[in-house]
Amino acid sequence: MRFGEEFLDELKSRLRPSDVIGRSVKLRRQGREFAGLSPFNQEKTPSFFVNDEKGFYHCFSSGKHGDVISFLQETEGLSFVEAVERLAAEAGLEMPRADPQEAARSEKRKGLRDWVAEAARYYAAELTRVRGRHARQYLAGRELSEAVWAEFGLGYASSQRAGLKDHLLQMGAKPAELVEAGLLIQPDDNGAPFDRFRDRIMFPIADVQGRITAFGARALSTDAKAKYLNSPETTLFHKGKTLYRYANARKAAAQKHAKGLIVAEGYMDVIALVKAGFDHAVAPLGTALTEDQLALLWRVGPEPILCFDGDAAGKRAAFRALDRALPVLEPGRTLNFAWLPDGLDPDDLIRKKGAAAMEDVLVSAEPLVDVLWQREWSLEPLKTPEQRAGLSARLRNITDQIVHKELAALYRRELFDRLAEKFVKRRRTDPWRNTKRDSPSIELRDKVRKGQKNPAEQRFLVSWIVQNPAALETLDEAFAELVLDDPGLDAVRNAVLDLWLLNPSIDRGAITSHLTQVKLTEQLALLENPSSAIQLPETDNPSKAWLEVAEELNARAGAEEEHAALEAKLLESLLGDDPKSLLQISAARRSRDDDQSNGER
Q: Residue 154: what pLDDT?
A: 97
Check residue 534 and give its pLDDT.
Answer: 62
Which has the closest alpha carbon to 412: 505, 259, 563, 517? 517
Tell me what percent of the residues of the chain surpass a pLDDT of 90: 44
User: Which of 1-5, 438-442, 473-477 is predicted most confidently?
Assistant: 473-477
What pLDDT was estimated at residue 106?
Answer: 74
Indicate if the pLDDT at residue 538 is higher than 50: yes
Measured CA distances, 7 to 2, 3, 84, 238, 293 (Å) = 10, 7, 10, 14, 17
Q: Please, what is the average pLDDT of the chain?
A: 83
Give the C-alpha separation, 192 to 201, whole Å.
24
If asked whether residues 450 and 590 sit together in one domain, one would say yes
pLDDT in tens, 9-23: 888 888 899 999 998
Q: What element of type H or E holds 58?
A: strand 56-59
Sign, CA torsion 378/382/383/387: positive
pLDDT tens string 562-575:
555 555 554 554 44
Quick check: 282 pLDDT over 60? yes
Residue 340 pLDDT more than 70? yes
Do 52 and 152 sit in the same domain of this protein?
Answer: no
Distance CA 245, CA 541 (A): 71
| Statement: residue 444 has pLDDT above 50 | no
pLDDT at 601 over 50: no
Name which residue leads in pLDDT, 61 or 261.
261
Q: Work out the average pLDDT over 581-592.
A: 51
Residues 266 and 279 in one domain: yes
Instruction: Calculate helix-pair angle for 487-502, 472-481, nearest 10 degrees.
Output: 150
* Distance in angstroms (rounded) separating the CA atoms of residues 282 and 242: 10
Asked if the model's pLDDT at residue 554 lies above 80, the reply is no
Count up the domains in the chain and report the number. Answer: 5
The confidence score (pLDDT) of residue 327 equals 95
Asked if 388 contacts 382 with a C-beta cutoff of 8 angstroms, the reply is yes
* Stronger pLDDT, 208 or 329, i.e. the higher one: 329
What size, in residues, is the chain?
Answer: 601
Instruction: Output the CA torsion sign for 229, 232, 233, 238.
Output: negative
436 lies in a domain?
no
CATH classification of the domain holding 280: 3.40.1360.10
- Which residues, listed in sequence order, are joined to residue 28 by a DSSP beta bridge? 35
CA angle centred on 532, ends 530 and 535, rounded to 5°: 90
Assigned domain for 432 exists = no
Model pLDDT, residue 433: 42
The answer to which of 13-17, 19-23, 329-333, 550-554 has the lowest mean pLDDT is 550-554
Q: pLDDT at position 451, please?
A: 40
Same-domain check for residues 85 and 161: no
State yes or no: pLDDT of 198 exceeds 60.
yes
Confidence class for position 476, pLDDT limits 50, 70, 90: confident
Query: Looking at residues 457-476, what average pLDDT do you find?
Result: 85
pLDDT band at 30 (very low <50, low <70, confident <90, very high): confident
Give the CATH number for residue 15: 3.90.580.10
In a domain, 601, yes or no: no
Whether residues 531 and 519 share a domain: the answer is yes
Percent of the chain with pLDDT over 70: 83
Indicate if the alpha-carbon torsion angle 165, 247, 240, 151 is positive or negative. negative
Residue 129 pLDDT exceeds 50: yes
Residue 96 lies in a domain: no
Residue 440 pLDDT > 70, yes or no? no
Between CA 520 and CA 191 the distance in angstroms is 80
Over residues 346-361, mean pLDDT: 93
Q: What is the pLDDT of residues 222-247, one digit of tens each?
A: 888 889 999 999 999 999 999 999 98
189 lies in a domain?
yes
Instruction: Calculate the dihedral angle through the C-alpha atoms of 501, 502, 506, 508, rounding to the nearest 10 degrees.
Output: -80
The string of pLDDT tens digits covering residues 370-417 is 999 999 999 888 888 788 888 888 999 999 999 999 899 899 889 988
Whether residue 361 is contained in a domain is answered as yes
* Cβ atoms of residues 508 and 469 within 8 Å: yes
CA 260 → CA 9, 284, 294, 523, distances in Å?
Answer: 21, 15, 11, 47
Whether 128 and 58 map to the same domain: the answer is: no
Q: How many angstroms separate the CA atoms of 588 and 50, rounded? A: 86
> Last residue of some domain: 181, 207, 237?
237
Residue 436 burial (CB count, 10 A): 12
pLDDT of residue 441: 37
**Rounded mean pLDDT, 432-443:** 39
pLDDT at 174 over 70: yes
Res 25: pLDDT: 92
368 in the same domain as 258? yes
Same domain, 351 and 396: no
Q: Which pLDDT belongs to residue 436?
A: 39
**Alpha-carbon gap, residue 367 to 358, rounded angstroms:** 18
pLDDT digits (tens, 9 = 90+) for 80-104: 888 898 899 888 888 876 666 666 7
pLDDT value at position 442? 39
CATH number at residue 206: 3.90.980.10
pLDDT of residue 67: 92
Write down the pLDDT at residue 368. 97
Q: Is residue 485 part of a domain?
A: yes
Range picked from 275-279, 340-344, 420-424, 511-515 for highest mean pLDDT:
275-279
Would the pLDDT of 495 be above 50?
Answer: yes
Q: Does residue 576 carry a pLDDT above 50?
A: no
Q: Are residues 201 and 325 in the same domain?
A: no
Residues 221, 225, 229, 233, CA torsion sign: negative
Distance in Å from the first CA to the final CA of the chain: 107
- 67 or 3, which is more confident: 67
For residues 451 and 277, which has the higher predicted lDDT (pLDDT)?
Answer: 277
Domain that holds residue 47: 5-91
pLDDT value of position 428: 44
Instruction: Say if 437 falls within a structural domain.
Output: no
- The answer to which of 22-31, 367-376, 537-546 has the lowest mean pLDDT is 537-546
**Whether residue 62 is found in the same domain as residue 143:** no
Do 455 and 583 fall into the same domain? yes
Question: What is the pLDDT at residue 342?
Answer: 77
Helices within 432-532 (DSSP H only): 442-448, 455-467, 472-481, 487-502, 508-517, 521-527
- Residue 121 CA to residue 153 CA, distance in Å, equals 8
Q: Per the confidence metrics, is the pTM higher than 0.85?
A: no
Q: Which of 427, 462, 493 is the last residue of a domain?
A: 427
Looking at residue 120, its amino acid is A
Same domain, 587 and 459: yes
